[in-house]
Amino acid sequence: MYKLNLMHQRPELKHECSHYGHILALAVKAQGDLVLVGDLLRSVTVLRYCPPTTAGSPTENGTLTEVARDFNVNSMRAVEFFHNSNFYLGTEDFGNMFIAKRQLSPPTPVGAAGASSSNPSTLTPEEKGRLLINSEFHIGDTINTLRPGSLNAQPKDQMQFEAASGAGDAAASAALPEYQSILFGTVSGSIGSIISIPKHVYDFHSSLEAAMRSVLQGVGGFSHAEFRALYNGRRNGSQSNSVDGDLIEMFLVLGADDMERIVLCLNNGLRARMTSASAVPRGTSTAVGSGALTDVQRSVLSGSAWATTGSATDGGDQEVGPPRELTVEDVVARIEEMLRLH
């Protein structure tokens, strides 16, 4: 890190501090006092800049210290802060995208019959220093740039997006928008967006995605779920906490018969989701990815359309599904509303 020195006639950059232990840092983003590093082999690392305490003392220069990192091996291409300073979006060489979460509080164990569901009081240093993978999704193309913004944002919306990414002032950052967007660009020239949404909106689109997969057959008879599953040559992982915007948008161009079949399947799925949610004791958390998260983030990612993540309630403060049977017109209206976000 360098500091701009304006004390001389010619401004100059003065070396401030360094951080070692990376193989090849290919992408760097900063937000406040946090620095997000994407490495070609060591995945994602979160650093914190600590400014000097007293001028003229041995600690005159600031320091960069490691806060947490992802211990998976990923060949990173781009990184970005997502939703807030505790979630990090990353893309790698095999056309995959993932969201990592920094642990600030202990996860709540899922309550079981005869088992204690009390929280541990503190996290161990090892837990604090490990990023949890919260969402994984296969794009099918190599993403080499990530940037906060929206393709159709009005000036007010753009200011909110910049506030969410740390580019705005403190007052704007204090009230983050319910929906936040990050644009991505790929090596083949395509552009897409990743949009954060609340949990109840995610529940609807996740159920719609499942209904479309059960009714429609993939191109060539291949499974759409398998295509969106993560694979990087070292490990496999199913699509998690994400909804494919490209697939959802296909609903608008289907025939009337297919739409009716999908809506029927959707209503059955939402009814089952509501039944299962009502059976979960209030206050318990859901196991996601590699751990149980108390403030679960939901993501909708896509190759060329839109994508999302939003905060979940932890016990049913919001409805999981609609109070009545949905019609084709209802589903079309909800999809078009989402399309206006990007």
Q: What is the pLDDT of residues 284-332, one digit of tens each?
A: 333 332 222 223 334 444 433 333 333 333 334 444 444 578 999 999 9
What type of residue sits at position 86? N
Report the distance separating Cα 134 and Cα 146, nearest Å. 18
In sequence order, what are the residues at sequence separation of 6 or more whose Cβ sits closer than 8 angstroms to the Cβ of residue 37? 22, 25, 27, 28, 44, 45, 46, 47, 79
CB 259 within 8 A of CB 251: yes
Phi-psi domain of 166 (left: phi exceeds 0; alpha: psi -120 through 50; beta: other) = left
pLDDT tens by residue, the chain, 342 residues: 888 888 777 888 888 889 998 999 999 999 989 999 999 989 999 999 988 775 444 556 788 999 999 999 899 999 999 877 889 999 999 999 999 998 876 655 544 444 444 444 577 888 888 999 988 899 989 999 999 888 775 544 544 545 544 544 444 444 445 677 899 999 999 999 898 888 888 889 999 999 999 998 877 778 888 888 888 888 888 888 888 988 999 999 999 999 999 999 999 888 887 777 665 554 433 333 222 222 333 444 443 333 333 333 333 444 444 457 899 999 999 999 888 876
> Does the predicted model carry a pTM greater than 0.75?
no
